[in-house]
Structure 1
Amino acid sequence: MLSPEARAEQIVARLCAAGFAPRLTDHGTYTCIEIEVPDQVSAERWQEFVAALALADWFGVVAGSQGGGSAWVAVDKETPAAARAARGRGHQL
């Protein structure tokens, strides 16, 4: 399993490769990566964007009122990505 730092770096690399300009912000217990999403995005860029979302612990997309929008992904620094899914219904690992 990749470390949180490695996952954040991989997300940034994927977004850059897709032509986005990610902004990375450290928030102590998690890292947030934000991008501006233009009005028109090719299918290839969108697929790379969605693949980057899959590496994150949380994500969100906000549509702009004038077209385009922004998106963010967050990587939790304290909990491995698979731990939440493995816990199931309130059970600890």
Structure 2
Amino acid sequence: MPASQARAQGIAARLSALGLATRVEEHVRYTSIEAEVPEALPAESWREVLEVVAEADRFGLLASSLTGRTLWAAVTKTVPATGDVRGPGRQR
């Protein structure tokens, strides 16, 4: 398992351990983790949640009166190193 995927799975597992239902999705350049945040989440739990998502490369909170609050985090995937990084059409 690539290190970036392990990080994303670790973040999701820790959020789940805090009582949040998580979704993990693989994208081309990153892995996203989303969790619905209940209205009644205690302040102490918020501190723990923020400590967890701070390990991601990016994170945020989407809030609306229609859909509630969704916490998201993204872990950038590692780009494999290549011997020639000049791109298409520039190879010898």
Q: TM-score range by the shorter chain?
A: 0.7 to 0.9
> TM-score of the superposition, structure 1-length normalised?
0.73
Give the aligned length.
78
* Alpha carbons 1:58, 1:73 under 8 Å: kept: yes
Whether the 8 Å CA contact 1:20–1:35 is kept in 2: the answer is yes
2:17 paired residue number = 17
For structure 2, the 5+ residue unaligned runs are: 80-92
Instruction: State the Cα deviation string for residues 61-83 of structure 1 (Å, max 9, x = none).
Output: 0122158411110000126xxxx
Residues 23-42 of structure 1: pairs in structure 2 closer than 5 A: 23-42=23-42
Match of 1:69 in 2: 69
Unaligned runs of 5+ in 1: 80-93
| Counterpart for residue 48 of structure 2 | 48
The structure with the greater share of residues assigned to helix is 1
Tell me the CA shift for residue 37 of structure 1.
Answer: 1.0
Q: Deviations over 1:22-68 (max 9, x none)?
A: 00000121000001111111123212210111110011101221584
